[in-house]
Structure 1
Amino acid sequence: MTESNEAAPALKPARELADSPRRFPGESAEYRRARNDLLAEEIELRRHIERVAAQRRALPPGGIVPEDYRFQGESGPVTLSEMFGKHDTLVTYNWMFGPRRERSCPMCTSLLSAYDGEMPDMLQRVAFAVIGRSPIEKLVAFAKERGWRHLQLYSSADNTFNRDYAGEDPDGDDVPAFNVFTRSGGTVRHFWAEEMGPWTADPGQDPRGAPDVMPLWTVLDMTPGGRGSDWYPKLEYNAAPR
């Protein structure tokens, strides 16, 4: 994609755009003032997200992948370059479901459950691979249990991909990680990785990237109670929520 040399149009001040014409039953003038102040901040946040995305797209070429890692897929061996399929971009997610775990990480499960529903749309634009260190049979069995239909699962049990691109000790705990790779002229390069973790978290905040990749937290951030400080997803619940 070529970038246009034309100057970007001047943006109206967010506060000017935040004079919302909407009114809801019973709202007070105090509420509307505070809501419009918040709307201005939301507009600024949207613009900042756009600036960050543009900066990410403008990254110089990343490092050439040192080897064409060989994984075990549901239908047999697959190399990293083969995961691209017809696309020139591959997104990988390192699933915290290694051989030391009897069950999958609940947070990963929540994320992947949401992505399974989005996958038919996502695969129109990019390839997406879910990579775990457990044997492929174990990964597939859990996916069937959860009713996942669209995720492409791969085992990295016999390679160093997780260690190389997730910072994971092969004898230690699992580490979740997003990575993006590109392929051009037969050359596969690393493009971007999520690099925010415990060392980048603010005081009292769970480590997470920005924007947050979990739809669950994005929705809860819009509610009065927010994310809470002592609740996390679970694999099973005693009763269906009301």
Structure 2
Amino acid sequence: MTALPPVADHETWQRELEALRIREKAATRELDAIAAQRRRLPMVRMPDYTLEGENGPVRLVDVFEGRSQLIVYNHMWFDGEEWQCPGCTGFTAQFTRFEFLEPYDARFVIVTQGPIDEALAYKRKVGNRFDWYSTANSPFGADVGAPAGGGFAVNVFLRDGDAVYRTWHTSGRGVEQLSHTFPLIDLLPYGRQEEWQDSPEGWPQSPTYSRWTSPQEIAAAYGARGD
């Protein structure tokens, strides 16, 4: 590497860090305020959708499995493709457990437009550990911002008895904020090393997505032949 940050004495470094910390703390407080506003959003009642699960048809209300809150990751699906979206595959691969949601009366699942048999086969191939459901025979995916042939999203639902309400939705880089990979990478001096990022002159940069882990690499590490 020929491009390096400038070298400074400890006092200068500490002063610059403290100046940055002011902005970091302000961002933290803003995120707290955003979460508070999110808790005050209204909600929309959903129809009584039927999805396909590993054991057959299942009503959306039953996907909660008795819990009151549900997070759904809408996984992109392309018919006839051996390897599905690397972004979706990579995002869901970074999570290995969601038991911490249980004290919060919540559950996390994956819903895709792919036929359930193909979706479950892909889940096993890439070593995904969560329950998958298919909306191939239901308008659910299209109705929550994840239509067939593309579209990924995160949707949150609240159950009150047999009534299900949609409380929140995001897609695009809003989903990225829920990961732990990019926050870690953004701590590094060279960051993501993608062309669109604001970096000092001479910093290593490559095409967007080119450093992302591929579905094939995820399958090799975590799938049927991995651990």
Aligned residues: 196
Gaps of 5+ in 1: 1-25, 198-207
CA distance in 1, matches of 2:158, 2:189: 40
Query: 2:76·2:146 contact (CA, 8 Å) conserved in 1?
Result: no
CA distance in 1, matches of 2:112, 2:18: 45
TM-score, normalization by structure 2: 0.79
Q: Does residue 1:153 correspond to 2:132, yes or no? A: yes
Report the equivalent of 1:97. Answer: 77
Report the equivalent of 1:48. Answer: 30
1:177 Cα shift? 0.6
1:87 Cα shift? 1.1
Q: Does residue 1:108 correspond to 2:50, yes or no? A: no
CA distance in 2, matches of 1:59, 1:226: 34
Structure 1 residues 40 and 118, CA, compared in 2 at 3 Å: closer, same or farther?
farther
1:148 Cα shift? 2.5
Report the equivalent of 1:213. Answer: 178
Query: 1:72·1:155 contact (CA, 8 Å) conserved in 2?
Result: yes
Q: Does residue 1:228 correspond to 2:193, yes or no? A: yes
TM-superposition CA deviations, 1:210-240 (whole Å, max 9, x none)? 7712221111111111122123331235x99
Match of 2:163 among 163, 166, 187: 187
Query: 2:54·2:120 contact (CA, 8 Å) conserved in 1?
Result: yes
1:97 Cα shift? 2.1
Q: Does residue 1:176 correspond to 2:152, yes or no? A: yes
Q: Describe the SS at the equivalent of 1:94.
A: strand
Query: 1:49·1:211 contact (CA, 8 Å) conserved in 2?
Result: no
CA distance in 2, matches of 1:222, 1:141: 36
Structure 1 residues 87 and 159, CA, compared in 2 at 3 Å: closer, same or farther?
same
CA distance in 2, matches of 1:135, 1:38: 48
Paired letter, 2:186? D
CA distance in 2, matches of 1:98, 1:152: 19
TM-score, normalization by structure 1: 0.74
CA distance in 2, matches of 1:79, 1:162: 14
CA distance in 1, matches of 2:21, 2:97: 28
Query: 2:79·2:114 contact (CA, 8 Å) conserved in 1?
Result: yes
Query: 2:154·2:170 contact (CA, 8 Å) conserved in 1?
Result: yes
Report the equivalent of 1:68. Answer: 48
CA distance in 1, matches of 2:169, 2:12: 43
1:135 Cα shift? 1.4
Query: 2:50·2:60 contact (CA, 8 Å) conserved in 1?
Result: yes
TM-superposition CA deviations, 1:10-62 (whole Å, max 9, x none)? xxxxxxxxxxxxxxxx96211110011111211111111111001100112x1
How much is the aligned-residue C-alpha RMSD, in angstroms?
Answer: 2.2
CA distance in 1, matches of 2:80, 2:68: 34
Q: Describe the SS at the equivalent of 1:54.
A: helix
